[in-house]
Amino acid sequence: MEDVYIIGVGMFRFGKYAERTIKDMAAEALDLVLTDAGATTKDIEAAWFSNSFWGINTGQHSIRGQVALAPLGIENVPIMNVENACAGASSAVNGAWMGIKAGAYDVALALGAEKVYNPTDKEAAFEMFISNADVDFVRGLISAFQADAAKKAQEAGAAKEGGGGGGGGGHSPFMDIYAMAARMHMQQYGTTQEQLAVIASKNHKAGALNPLAQYQIAMSVEDVMNDRLVAYPLTRAMCAPIGDGATAALLCSESALKRFPDARPVKVRASVLASGSLQFGPEHELIGKKVSRRAYEMAGLGPEDIDVAEVHDATAFGELLQCEELGFCGEGEGGPFAASGATTIGGKLPVNPSGGLECRGHPIGASGIAQLFELVTQLRGESGPRQVEGARIAMAENGGGFLGAGEAAMAIHILEKV
């Protein structure tokens, strides 16, 4: 089987684009990726299209990829529609990689586009996130999680005017789930709210260096701690924002590289996609540990070989947990690991130099490729002031939805500089 390469990436700055459509955002991402690779639509032999909420927002279900891509000249080729919550875009890349790896195609496109922002009904936008979990199960948990958050916030003296401590409205229900997981980690391992603030501050400083980040404002640890409380221990600055955007990646086989002499290819050492489990407890590993082990085995590498990583930080706690699950530090050591400065640009293992989901933004069906955009840019040495010096091996972890006690889906990619 031939090796697979990413020869082009494309994204524009994520943000709140009330007037933009899925179609025109997809068109911009496609133009950017083709320009980056030195390719045309005629080169594309198959496409995977990621989106989660188009159907909820406008009723466009079923053939979303065909509807978005046919006007752009991508017709008569296989188009696979991917809906896999926050892991949709990375799942699309996995599909494209697998098609090339199997020998079915030489050149394949993965494109994710999403609209989440709703200027007239913000609560409706937040409510959409419920569909990324077992709806019947999770609705019964949210109110209990919010009550526990309010209690813990009061005990910690952390409730702030206008923020409460339990959450209620004004944010995605997933923030209540993340907050509950964070509180459990704090109780078990002694993790602190300040350690979470260190992670968020680090990401805001990196986001301020990224011209494509939705948030480009540096924040100190104190700024993060003093921001509005969403659900204890998470403040607003620790949480990914609502936003819209589109991203794309073009992949090809090794034999097809000669068709694109202007490309700056990056090798895909591993591409792994898996689903979560309803089983959880001390005897069951979380999905991140299981999927990363498969990715390391496929790449013939270990966590000690990773030079830079993008992980799924829908909240600062998400980054902390994944640093543990991916083997960057020991179980329960994510807080001290971050506080040591290890994950900063220039640290032992920079994590989320793009600013992560917390600052780069999180349009659900596009985020996974945005991670790969950052890592490809890093491995090409084109990241400017946020460049990780000497980066040769990069890892992206993209989780999606909730099932049981963890993510419902997860894709991990390991990339290598050519």
Catalytically annotated residues: 86, 362
- Please give the radius of gyration of the chain, using alpha carbons only, rounded to the nearest integer: 20
Query: Measured between alpha carbons, how far apart are the two ends of the chain, in Å?
Result: 18
Left if phi > 0, otherwise alpha if psi is -120 to 50, otherwise beta: which for 264?
Answer: beta
Strands, sheet with 409-417, edge to edge from the N-terminal-most edge strand: 79-82, 46-50, 107-114, 245-253, 4-11, 266-275, 409-417, 393-400, 308-310
Cis link prior to 233 (omega < 30° from 0)?
A: yes
How far is it, in rounded angstroms, from Cα 334 to Cα 322? 8
Could you tell me where the DSSP H helices lie in 4-157? 22-37, 54-58, 64-69, 88-101, 122-128, 135-156
**H/E segment holding residue 229:** strand 229-231
Cβ within 8 Å of residue 145, ≥6 positions away: 167, 176, 177, 179, 180, 231
CA distance 1 to 3: 7
Q: How far apart are CA 202 and CA 97, in angstroms?
A: 32
- Residue-wise burial string across 366-391, b where 16 or more C-beta atoms lie within 10 A, e elsewhere: bbbbbbbbbbbbbbbeebeebbbeeb
Residue 126 dihedral angles phi and psi, to the nearest 5°: -65, -40
- Cα–Cα–Cα angle for 153, 285, 376, nearest 5°? 85
Within 10 Å of residue 331's Cβ, how many Cβ atoms?
A: 13
CA 99, chain centre distance (Å): 22
